[in-house]
Amino acid sequence: MRKKKSKYMNLGIRWFFLITVILFVLLVGRVSYVQLADKVEGTEIKNYVNEKYNSTQVIPALRGGIYDANGQPLAEEVNSYTVSAVLDPKASKNSKIPLNVVDKEKTARELAPILNVSEQSILDQLSKKKYQVELGPGGRRNISQDKKDKIEKLALPGIIFTPTHTRYYPNGVFASHILGYTTLDDAGNLVGEMGLEKSLNKEMTEKDGKVTYLRDRKGNILPYAKEKITPPKNGDNVNLTLETKIQSLLEDSMTEVEKEYKPEKMVAIVEDPKTGKILAMSNRPSFDPNKHDITNYTNDAVSSAFESGSTMKIFTVAAAMNEGVYNGNEYYHSGSYKIGKTTIHDVNRSGWGSITFDEGVQRSSNVAMAILLNQKLGADRYLQYYKKFGLTQKTGINIPGEVAGRLLYNMPLEQTTTAFGQGSTVTPIEIVQGAGAIANDGKMMKPYLVNSIVDPDTQKTVTQYHPEVVDTPITAETAKRERALLSTVITSPHGTGHAYALDGYTLAGKTGTAQISDGKGQYSKGLGQNYFSFIGMAPADKPELVMYVSVLKPKLQPTQLGSAPVSQIFKTVMQGALEYMKVEKTGTENVKQIVDHDSTSVPNLQGLSVDDAKSLTIGNGLKFVQLGDGSTVLGQSIKNGSKVVRGTTIYVKTDGKNKMPLMDGWSLLDVRRISDLFNLKLTTKGSGFVISQSKNSGSEIRDGDFLSIELQPPSQAENSQNKIEVKTKG
């Protein structure tokens, strides 16, 4: 007899089957969902799988480097380390040796000199209630391999190193405003913050690569899995036109002058005028890009426009020569020149009497420039040359921060002062570009400092810069003629550039002493309260280099001239650069050849009648001044046969009563010539130009008389070569 199934058993089977089907459907649905969905419960499926079964390693790339003209590194990315200290004793659990800092005082004492921070600052960090700390600014700034090795030798427990990269500038204070510096962003990447590091940050920024491979659950790399490699992209390298040896000469010289004279600012630029390549450029104050000890964020060589003073006279003379209105042997009356109610003075307010324009250039006469502008050229015609020399716009040099000078040229006074470098402003790089036209036979080259940008991975040139002619403001003939004249600024007895003469090389150049405006129409006064500058090119016949130097407010001794710090920089760098470039020395013979066109021999006047002596003197291109009322010449101030510049004054002693000349503004050399002529017993005080004399002008002068004079430098006597005196009526 069959046993009857319990209805409860049948019901249980049904429920079990139903639950199983439901679970199966849910499982199939879940699996299908997981397979089809991109994200489950907020987790990216692909990322989860990749993280679990794929390993990725970063292939680091390097930031592009900056190199000089010869491939020497000026900025590069190097291996470095961050120093940290493990403080938590739990780090040493289950370890036979301590893995945390044990002796805080000893650790601070031994690390301080290596990290260049105080013991107390390290001790403060070691006392924090943290698992691990970075050891102060010395650690965070990243240390070199050498310092890491020194710390490791100390065997200090708990000190660990994290490898990283840092930007390194091997030359320290070296073209710092050009190179700039970098900092780390939030992601730990180097980012340019100044100079080329900032302006070319995109080009120099690297992109890391990576390698990806499959692994099993235990982390083992699968034997037949293919690696996926994304190669790194190193940043592009930047090649400059800078010559490290010339730049080093400049940096060292400026550092010495900075220590000795403590000026507020200094700027210097060295250029190849044939190409426009900048071979050296520096500013003071400067800084070390490795330390970021910055007090001046401005690259004054390109970013500061100022009233440059008499260096601007080279452009006025160039314009007059090129227009055929400059006659160097023509005479004009020096000392002062009126424009409306305003009187413009030379540095010697009384002037040097009637002198030639060539002598006016040699003496840096403002009056000569005023006459050239107003009576020879005309304001409109001069403005055309001013613009053609690039003095009203940016040069376009390929470094950041350039500004343009400001032209102040509306009124007759403004037009006149612009002709001798006051009122209107220019930048040092604008002066160098314009002077390059005079050095390069009329062709003005665009200055540039970045030579090329190169992909280091492929060695392909991304960007290449080439010499570019900007304009031709003057002819080659004019350029040669002006260089010959500017060479007499160095060689002439009247020249203001004696301090800049080079050994074995001819030099053409122009000095500058500019007043400093307070922006309210007033100018600073006092010894050294000026912008002292010089623009020079050498060798004078075929210049290889143009160099500009300016020094703001040097601390001068009463007997020092403003040219002292400027010439110290100029002579050191120009002489060294020419020798480094193996430019052949020309010696004094070449100087003689260049200035011969402007020189003449002093005739023998002794025993001649005054009339014959005067005729002979003037016929030789010289000036004749009779000191006595006699009829026969007994002596002359410059020995016969001497080579002098045309226009030089010859004082003659006669057989009658001789009268003392007015010596205001005379150089000591001129005074000594008169003293020798009359066997005077001369005593002097100070240096520079005569401001007072013991014997009044017009008084009788006899052989053996006593004469005492006082001299002062131009900056002390008149504050500037560009003194403007305003007189108002009523």
- What confidence category does residue 245 fall into, taking pLDDT thresholds of 50, 70 and 90? very high
Identify whether residues 177 and 149 lie together within a single domain. yes
How far apart CA 121 and CA 109 sit, in angstroms, is 11
Residue 708 sits in the same domain as residue 655 = yes
Tell me, yes or no, whether 225 lies in a domain.
Answer: no
Residue-level pLDDT at 715? 43
Q: Is the pTM of this model over 0.75?
A: no
Boundary-marking domain end, from 560, 595, 630: 595
Are 352 and 480 found together in one domain? Answer: yes
**600 strand-pairing partners:** 644
- What pLDDT score was predicted for residue 224? 56
Same-domain status, 179 and 255? no
Residue 178 lies in a domain: yes
**Predicted confidence band at 595 (pLDDT cuts at 50, 70, 90)?**
very low
pLDDT for 521 equals 61
Q: Is residue 26 located within the same domain as residue 136?
A: no
Query: 164 near 188, Cβ under 8 Å?
Result: yes
Q: Kindly tell me if the per-residue pLDDT of 723 is higher than 50.
A: no
Residue 219, domain member (yes or no): no
Contact (CB, 8 A) for 288 and 172: yes
Q: Mean pLDDT of all residues in the chain? A: 86
Sheet holding 508-514, edge to edge: 278-284, 265-271, 545-552, 531-538, 508-514
Neighbour tally for 4: CB within 10 Å:
6
**Does 613 share its domain with 512?**
no
| Structural element, H or E, at residue 419 | helix 412-419
- Taking residue 60's Cβ as centre, other Cβ atoms within 10 Å add up to 14
Residues 6+ apart with CB under 8 A from 394: 402, 403, 404
User: How is 52-98 classified by DSSP, letter by letter?
Assistant: HHEEEEEE---PPPEE-TTS-EEEEEEEEEEEEEE--GGGGTT-SS-
pLDDT in tens, 302-340: 999 999 999 999 999 999 999 999 999 999 999 999 998
Whether residues 257 and 113 share a domain: the answer is no
Whether residue 103 is contained in a domain is answered as yes
Which of 37-51, 70-84, 210-224 comes out lowest in average pLDDT? Answer: 37-51
Q: Is residue 517 part of a domain?
A: yes
Percent of all residues in the chain with a pLDDT value above 70, rounded to a whole number: 85
Active site residues: 310
Residue 216 lies in a domain: no
Give me the pLDDT at residue 469, please.
97
Where residue 633 sits, what CATH number does that domain have? 3.30.10.20
pLDDT tens profile 648-691:
889 999 988 889 888 887 878 888 888 889 999 988 887 667 88
Structure tokens that stand for 474 in this block? 């003057």
The confidence score (pLDDT) of residue 31 equals: 65
Examine the pLDDT at 621 and tell me if it is beyond 80.
Answer: no
355 and 466 together in one domain: yes
pLDDT at site 257:
96
Residue in 230, 271, 284, 182 with CA at minimum distance from that of residue 61:
230
Residues in the chain, how many? 730
Who has greater pLDDT, 719 or 88?
A: 88
* Amino acid identity for residue 463 in this structure: T
Indicate the angle between helix axes 145-153 and 104-115, nearest 10 degrees: 150
Asked if 685 and 551 sit in the same domain, the reply is: no
Same structural domain, 551 and 663: no
Q: Which of 22, 40, 56 is the last residue of a domain?
A: 56
CATH number at residue 98: 3.90.1310.10
pLDDT digits (tens, 9 = 90+) for 24-50: 777 777 666 656 655 555 555 555 555
pLDDT tens, residue by residue, 517-571:
666 666 666 677 788 999 999 999 999 999 999 999 999 876 677 888 999 999 9
Range of lowest pLDDT (19-23, 341-345, 488-492): 19-23
Q: Check which CATH number belongs to the domain holding 307 and give it.
A: 3.40.710.10
Q: What DSSP state is assigned to residue 559?
A: T
Q: Which tokens belong to 561?
A: 């001239």
Overall number of domains in the chain: 4
Q: What is the pLDDT of residue 5?
A: 54
- pLDDT of 370 > 70? The answer is yes
Identify which of 150, 100, 151 has the alpha carbon closest to the alpha carbon of residue 128.
Answer: 100
Separation of alpha carbons 400 and 140, rounded Å: 29
For residue 559, tell me if it sits in a domain.
Answer: yes
Distance CA 84, CA 71 (A): 36
Task: Determine which of 44-53, 238-247, 500-509 has the lowest per-residue pLDDT on average.
Answer: 44-53
Whether 200 is in a domain gets the answer yes
Tokens representing 268?
């210097």
Identify whether residues 255 and 199 lie together within a single domain. no
Burial class (CB in 10 A: 0-12, 13-18, 19+), 525: middle
What b/e readout covers 258-275, taking b as 16+ CB neighbours within 10 angstroms? beebebebbbbbbbbbbb
Q: What is the mean pLDDT of residues 576-600?
A: 68
For residue 369, give its domain range.
Answer: 244-595
Q: Verify that 46 and 78 share a domain, yes or no.
A: no
